[in-house]
Amino acid sequence: MWVAVGFLVLVNLMWGISFPLTKTINLEVDELFGIAAEDASTSLRLSAATWLMLFRFTLALVLFFIFFPNIVKRATTAEWKAGFQIGVFFFVGLVLQIIALATIPASRSGFLTSLVAVFTPLLTAILLRQRPHWPVIVGVATALAGVSILTGLLVWDAGGARFASDARAAWTTGDTLTTLAAVFFAGQIMLVDYHGKRLDAAAMTPGMFATTAVLSLVTFLVARPMIPETATAGWFELAVQPRFWTLIVTLSVLSSVLAFNWMNTYQHYVSASQAGIIYTLEPVFASAAAMVLPGLLTVWSAIEYKNEVLVWPMVIGGSLIVAANLVSLCPRAADTSLLHPPESEPATTADNSSPLSGSADAS
């Protein structure tokens, strides 16, 4: 079991480092077009996000076909359709997250994204028209407190806790987009759970990767012409830069292919509640990476990206969000599925040597 725990910790580490890596690509785009992050138009941000995703998931799909051909061969029309549904939710969530990363710190994005652990059981209860379990209610309340502190909505002074005088400015558009992204990631997890009980979960992955890549291409082609500064030549100039491809390959290999492979290879060796606890490490790793990697990436890529600094709002707010995730996991220990009764059994696969499910990192 400890070997499985070790690999799952590595999975969360890979997802955690993806936050500053993705933000670095956003900074590359800003430098290329000579635009400050806060001044970039929605079209530019959307173009940058989908350009990144197009290369990342096209490469991930190619690698999947090369290293896991048996899984691809056994994928039926049903698995491809399920992968498409999962991919749509994942695509929307990731686009929102990447756009938001241009204007908020990587650590903040990591903690807000982790709210998926709170949203998933909450949305499940709503869809099933059931009253949420008390741990979910407590988790939501704790998460709200954590987010308020993390984003600066709540502050402390001699009179105690109060709403900040600049509360409206403290909560940014990036915070809203990232929180909304967590909702879509929760929907993705619910779809993986729903289809994974009936179909070959590993065989849904190529459909998810393909859907994400195709939607990225279509969205990029629609968004790019909306603003004159994003000339086609500029995007191809970005695509031929070695530093861009280094980041893309790292995200594709580590945060996509390897992370999914190890997650689904080793997760069944631990209980669902144990796995949930391990996954709360993702925002912690994201914060740690944001305090170390930016400085190294600045030296390597010549792009100004300062290391984040550990501050009390991050410590207290982030800790409350992690606590909320842990509390919200309590009902899952008694349920084997989010959308199925406990007696439902997961579909088995023909090749368990390297199973990859359609679930994806929220980064």
3-state secondary structure 293-361: HHHHHHHHHCCCCCCCCCCHHHHHHHHHHHHHHHHHCHHHHHCCCCCCCCCCCCCCCCCCCCCCCCCCC
**Tally of structural domains, the chain:** 1
What is the pLDDT at residue 159? Answer: 65
* Residue 220 covered by a domain: yes
Q: How confident is the model at residue 333 (pLDDT cuts 50, 70, 90)?
A: very low
Residue 357 has pLDDT above 50, yes or no: no
Q: Is residue 357 part of a domain?
A: no
pLDDT above 70 covers a percentage of the chain that reads 86
Torsion 274-280-285-288 (CA) sign: negative
Residue written as token pair 């090369």:
66
339 is a domain residue: no
Count of other CB atoms within 10 angstroms of residue 301: 20
- 226-260 tens-digit pLDDT: 766 556 677 888 888 999 999 999 999 999 888 87
Cβ atoms 349, 355 nearer than 8 A:
yes
Closest among 202, 239, 181 to 80, alpha carbons compared: 202
Q: Which residues contact 304 (CB under 8 A, 6 or more apart)?
A: 27, 298
Look up tokens 């600094």; give the residue: 309
Tokens of 220: 């990029």
Sorting pLDDT into bands at 50, 70 and 90, what band is 126? confident
CB 175 within 8 A of CB 150: no
Model confidence band, residue 348 (pLDDT cutoffs 50, 70, 90): very low
- 66 is in which domain, residue-wise? 2-334
Is 347 part of a structural domain of the chain? no
Q: What 8-state DSSP symbol labels residue 256?
A: I
Closest among 340, 197, 252, 199 to 64, alpha carbons compared: 252
Q: Is residue 150 part of a domain?
A: yes
- Amino acid residing at 255: S
Rounded mean pLDDT, 16-29: 94
Q: What's the rounded mean pLDDT across residues 78-87? A: 94
| Domain-embedded: residue 340 | no
Q: Does residue 342 lie within any of the structural domains?
A: no
Query: Would you call 156 helix, strand, or coil by DSSP?
Result: strand
| Phi, psi at 156, each rounded to 5° | -115, 140
Distance CA 122, CA 134 (A): 11
- Among 294, 291, 309, 303, smallest CA distance to 27 is for 303
Structure tokens at 233: 């030549």
d(CA 149, CA 186): 23
Encoded tokens for 326: 């842990």
Within-domain flag for 346: no
Confidence tier at 338 by pLDDT (50, 70, 90): low
| Nearest-angstrom CA–CA distance, 139 and 322 | 10
Q: What is the pLDDT averaged over residues 45-74?
A: 93
What's the number of CA atoms in the CB half-sphere (13 Å) around residue 356?
31
What CA–CA distance (Å, rounded) separates 31 from 25?
10
- pTM of the predicted structure, to 2 decimals: 0.86
